[in-house]
Structures are given as C-alpha cells and as structure tokens.
Amino acid sequence: MRLQARWLSVALGCVLLGSAPSPPRPEDGYELWLRYRPVSDAALRREYRAAIGYLVLPGDSPTLRAARAELATGLRGLLGSAVPLERGVTRDGAVVAGTPASSPLVASLPIAAELARVGNEGYVLRATRVGGKTAIVVAANRDAGVLYGAFALLRRLQTNRPLAGLAESGAPRIELRLLDHWDNLNRTVERGYAGASLWAWDSLPGQLPARYRDYARADASVGINGAVLTNVNADARILTAPYLAKVAALAGVFRPWGIRVYLTARFSAPMEIGGLTADPLDAAVRDWWKGKADEIYRVIPDFGGFLVKANSEGQPGPQDYRRTHADGANLLADALAPHGGVVIWRAFVYSNDVPTDRVMQANNEFVPLDGAFRPNVLLQVKNGPLDFQPREPFHPLFGAMPHTPLMAELQITKEYLGQNTHLVYLAPMWTEVLNADTYAHGPGSTVGRVIDGSLHGYPRTGMAGVANVGTDRDWSGSDFNQANWYAFGRLAWDHTLSAAQIADEWIRQTLSNDARVIAPVAAMMRASREAAVNYMTPLGLAHQMAVGHHYGPGPWVGRGRSDWTSIYYNRADTIGLGFDRTRAGSNAVSQYFQPLRDRFASRDSVPDDLLLWFHHVAWSERLHSGRTLWDELLRHYQMGIDTVRWMQRTWDGLAERVDAARFHRVQELLRIQAAEARWWRDASVLYWQTFSHLPIPAGYEQPLHPLAFYRALTCPSDVTKPRCPAIEETP
C-alpha cells in the first residue's frame, strides 16, 4: 500500500514537472550485451518498425528454434511490441530466415552465389523484396548460420545501424572458436575471479538451470562454437562414466546454440582410472584410449575432442616415458579420428631442468616436431612466449611450424592484468599480436594469417580464450570484464576487426547508444591496456607480479624455481635492468625471422615498448627520446597512474547517463585501480632504486611508503576476489 502511494506521488510529480527523464533502471549485468532495450531514437525506431513487422522462420531443428526464440525476444524488446511468427509473406515488413532446405522462400531467392561464399557457419543479410513485399532476409547454408545471422541482425539493431540497403554477409575466418574453462571438479576455477565454476557437477545431469542456456546464448551471439569444460591441470575422473553423463547433459543444452563440448585429457588417465601405464607406445594404453573415445562418442555424438597440457608445470606427459610430444598427441588423435574429434595439444611447456631462457623452450621442443603430428592435431600456442603478460612480443612459434596447425591461446581472465578489479580492455593487446608480422613468408605474414590457415594452408584452424566467467551475477566479475569475453568471440570470428570497432559495438549494446557515453567510454577502454602496461611492467618488463596469486607487484620475488621468479626476468643489477636476449645473452632473438631478429637485437631498432624484454640497459643510458632509462621508467609509471586517474574523472562525468548500479560498481573498482596503480609504481620504483641509486626527481610524486612496507604486504587473502585493504585505504 505504502509502495503504491509512493509510486503515485512519483508519477504525479513527473506529470506536474513535465518531462523529467526517468533515470536508467539499475542493472545487475546478467543480460550482458543481449539487453535488447527499446530503441530510443524515434526516427530509427520508426524505420525499424516499418522494416520489421513479422517473422517467417519455418523449421523445427533445435538450432532454428533457438534462432526463432532469440529473434522474437530481441525484436520485441528493441521495437517495443511483439513481432508475430507467420507462415508466409503476406505484406511488407517480413523477416524471412532460414536455409534453402528449411525455408522454400529462402530457396527461391537469387542469393546462391552469396551463400556459396559464406560456408557452413556464415550468413547473408539482405533488405530486399520477397513476392513483391519488403523483407529482411537472414539466409544461411546451415542452421548454425541462421543463428549467427539472427544475432548479427539483432546486433545491427542494438547498435542503431540502418536497415535500408542492408547487404551484409559474415563468415568465420577460424573454424574452432573455443572458450577454455580452467574449472575444477570441486567447482573452483584456476585463475577465476568471477565466482565458482558454472558447472554444478553435483546436480548434473538432473538439473539444468537456465544459466547453462544463457551461457550458450552469450557464446553463440559472438560466434564461439566450443567449450572446453575442464581445467588443463586435469582430473582424470572427468573421463569416467558418471561424469560423462553430466557432460552429455551440458552438451545437450549447448548443442542448439552451435556449441560443442571438449574435455581436458589427463595424460596419465590410463594409470589413474584404467590401472595401466600411460606410455603412448604401449598397445594396451592405445586400446584404452580408443575404448574411452568410443565410450565418449556413444554419449556425446558431437564431442569436439581433447585439450592436453602435458609435461608442463608438473603435469604428466609422454616425456615421462622418453616419448615425444608428437607420440603423445598422436596416441589421442588416433583414438578420436574415427569419430571426427581433434586433439588440441598445448605448446605451453616447461622442461624439467631450468633452461637458459624460459621463453625459448616451446620453439626448442616443438619446431623439430613440425610435420610429425596427425592431421587431427592442433598445437595451441599462447600469444606470447612467456605467460599472458601485459605486453610480450608475439610467440616465435607463429610462422615457425608450417606443417602443423597452430591455434592461438589468449587469456580472457586477467591473471596478470589486475584480475577482477582493474578495468583493462584486452582487444588492443590481442590485435597487437594478431596483426604482428612474423615475416615467415616475407612481409604480410601476420600472426592472424598463421592461425586462420591462409599463410601455410592449414587444414584446421582455431583460437581459444581462457574464460573469465563464473557464477557471479554479472558472469565476469565486473561489468567491464564482460567486454573481454565479447571481444574474444568477435576476434575469433574475424581477427581483422579492430579493437575500436569491437569496443563501439560492446558499449552500444551494453551501456548506451548515446554519443555522450560512447565517446568517453571508448576512450577509457582504448587507453586502459597501455595504462596497465605502464603502471605494471613498462618498457618491456615482464612477470613482476607477486608470487603465486600474481596480484600486485613483486619485483623482488627471488625464491623458488628460478624461471618462476621476478628477478629471473628483470635481471636488475647496479648496471641496469632487463633481460639480454641478443646473441651476447640468451639469443632468443634468433627464434624470430629476419628482419625481426636484427630489429629486436639492435638497441637502435628495438621498439621502446619491448626494450627490456630483449636488452639489459644501463640506468643512465639514453633511449630514443633522449631521456635516460631511469627517467623513462619514472615517466611511464607516472603515465600509467595518470591515465587511471583520468579514467576515474571520465567515468565520474557519466553519473547521469549510466544506471546507478553499474555506475557505482565501476566507480568503486576504478578507485581501487587508482590506488593499486600507485602501489605498483611506488613498490617497483623503490625496488629499482636499490640498484640504480638514483633519485626520484622533484615533480614526481614521492612513494607513499618505504620499500619494506610493500615487501611485507601479504594480500590478497582471498585470491578469487583479490583486494589489498592496506593499499585501498591509502589516500
């Protein structure tokens, strides 16, 4: 009763005051970029309503039903009224969707040539006439293409692009577009900052909450077509019958959305659940894997395949039996081949002996095996040769294995980039790598062309992203982390898209189509990655994070296996800073093609942003700018801090234009990020100063605490929701 009276007085107040705009309603982030809010521009809404009045989408396959449901929901939301389903085209304003097999109308259209170009998953969107009536056509060769076309049409409307003259087609450049979930069977998530694992193993296969479907919808909306459900640090139990029944249930939910499931295979599974050895050349082991593959395909006929981390960070592998990675991968590939499955073998390996240079190992181990893998094996290579750092050069394996399909592995969860608190948009980092020229076949041999198969003619192609989703209501641990999931999917579909275009799409769908929101938020996203590089690891530094959890600075970390320490990578001494990877040092430059090898090796031509990755530079040596290394370091750290402060101010300016719930959540995280940027810089500079013995000149902020304070910090206490109160409380 009291509520009603309050509502009445608010409504009356609005009437009396005239047109007071209602504030955007609070959002919890669950709907991601699939919010389908009414189009607010009146002229555009009229245009859309005139073009879209009803839906003609026959067919009864699960995927066509999914496309129909998504179009009905999306169009109703965007246009403000239901868009009915009808049997045929009777008047203007039809949305005609289907394949030539599912829709006689689509079969009758003169678009065969366009369809021939878009393959199995592509789509064609057209504004045209069907039977003399205006229509929007969503056509594809297969049902999955209709689904992707439906999402493309909805994206068009959500981003307020015109329908007049619509002539768009889309097809993925990469075949396997996968999310790798580092999810354990106890529902913890390795490097997960967004709650527990989405997969509730205890209640599977019986209970299938709507969240499973919504996860699949979100994936499909950006073109992701596979999910590796389990951690690469694998547990053999996932391959037992009770778990396979659970996996089959998830596969059943995902299938209509074009998503196949994959599992991680623990190499020692034949020992742990089969009572055998795991030697890849042992006949009984080979039979065991064949039997296991048969069993899996009996319950999951479209199972995608296995992802394997072997002989890396303590995981078992073929080298335990003095066999090669190829022996190991081929064992599993032979078991899966009769069913059409693939083996995705990771190139992220650590040898048991600490080598001269950690970043050279993958090439040393895998290049000699080029061509030794079965055709259904792909090698999954991290974007850089170390480990998902804020900046690394591209991995030198790209271009170096012409006879082995290489997939790219990107990390969406921000293990080394501020985890769930810092706002860091990752597309600029990923496009930097995808557009990097390997020179493997001369200029233009980009990493993107390696992984899309066009450079070496790979028969199979793929891209994987380590997922950042969990049971948090907003899926990704923060509103802006969602943008990285979105960006990964869009780049896996088309790696030539720009980070700016993807950000624009995401902002319009997730936040607002108001230019007064788009421009500042796009600027924040654009600047955010370089800011993180600057306050964490400027000028080519890497792996300076605190030990274990990787949250916050730890340039002094020196205990434990040497190539897991910070001092191994920074090589700070009284002379200078940085890892000499020239011929005089580890010679890692030799793993790159010319002219990169020489470019990276020379102090004159190495780019500043990779300087300390490749060179040990004296503190007072002058860089291209004319400033000394010490001055440049101070400058870069400060730029990082200043950029975050600018992001705070920019966001504060949006208080009236973004709903209060999201506004305050982001504002609070930016406050933490600003304090932590300062933490990074103060701790790092003070530590470098113990070697350089140079002052922090006037004009720069002086560190808030002495070095001992930073070295003594033990936060975060909860690694899944990292916080450092001692830093947050700093003014």
Q: At its nearest, how many Å lie between ligand GCV and the CB of residue 177?
A: 19
38-97 residues near ligand GCV, rule: CB under 6 A: none
- Sequence-distant (6+) residues with CB within 8 A of 348 are 309, 312, 362, 380, 381, 382, 387, 409
Q: What is the DSSP letter of 415?
A: T
Q: At its nearest, how many Å lie between ligand GCV and the CB of residue 543?
A: 10
Please state, in angstroms and rounded to a whole number, the distance separating the CA atoms of residues 388 and 714: 23
Kindly tell me which of 231 and 684 has the beta carbon lying closer to ligand GCV.
231
Residue window 286-325: x/- pattern of binding to ligand GCV, with contact defined by CB under 6 A: -----------------------x---x------------
Please state, in angstroms and rounded to a whole number, the distance separating the CA atoms of residues 121 and 118: 7
344-363 residues near ligand GCV, rule: CB under 6 A: 348
- 563 scored as a contact of ligand GCV (CB under 6 A): no
Q: At its nearest, how many Å lie between ligand GCV and the CB of residue 268?
A: 16
411-440 residues near ligand GCV, rule: CB under 6 A: 415
Q: What is the DSSP letter of 446?
A: B
3-state secondary structure (DSSP) of residue 217: helix
Kindly tell me which of 348 and 475 has the beta carbon lying closer to ligand GCV.
348
Which position among 387, 432, 437, 631 is part of the footprint of ligand GCV (CB under 6 A)?
387
187-206 residues near ligand GCV, rule: CB under 6 A: 190-191
Written as one string, the DSSP assignment of 464-525 is EEE----SSTTSSSSTTHHHHHHHHHHHHH-TTS-HHHHHHHHHHHHT-S-HHHHHHHHHHH
Are 331 and 289 spatial neighbours (Cβ–Cβ below 8 Å)? yes
Kindly tell me which of 221 and 720 has the beta carbon lying closer to ligand GCV.
720
- 235 scored as a contact of ligand GCV (CB under 6 A): no
Please state, in angstroms and rounded to a whole number, the distance separating the CA atoms of residues 542 and 194: 25
Catalytic residues: 313, 387, 415
Kindly tell me which of 350 and 439 has the beta carbon lying closer to ligand GCV.
350
Q: At its nearest, how many Å lie between ligand GCV and the CB of residue 509?
A: 31
Single-letter code of the amino acid located at 148: Y
Q: What angle do CA 350, 351, 355 make, to 5 degrees?
A: 100
Which position among 48, 54, 182, 613 is part of the footprint of ligand GCV (CB under 6 A)?
182
Cα 253–chain centre separation: 22
Q: At its nearest, how many Å lie between ligand GCV and the CB of residue 426?
A: 16
Which position among 51, 67, 232, 533 is part of the footprint of ligand GCV (CB under 6 A)?
232
Residue burial 414-433, b: 16+ Cβ < 10 Å; e: rest: bbbbbbbbbbbbbbbbbbbb
Kindly tell me which of 239 and 467 has the beta carbon lying closer to ligand GCV.
467
Q: At its nearest, how many Å lie between ligand GCV and the CB of residue 190?
A: 5
Kindly tell me which of 103 and 380 has the beta carbon lying closer to ligand GCV.
380
Q: At its nearest, how many Å lie between ligand GCV and the CB of residue 466?
A: 7
**How big is the site for ligand GCV, counted in residues (CB under 6 A)?**
10
The CA-based diameter of the chain, rounded to the nearest angstrom, is: 84
- Helix or strand (DSSP H, E) at 377: strand 377-382
Kindly tell me which of 348 and 485 has the beta carbon lying closer to ligand GCV.
348
Are 302 and 343 spatial neighbours (Cβ–Cβ below 8 Å)? no
Binding site for ligand GCV (CB under 6 A): 182, 190-191, 232-233, 309, 313, 348, 387, 415
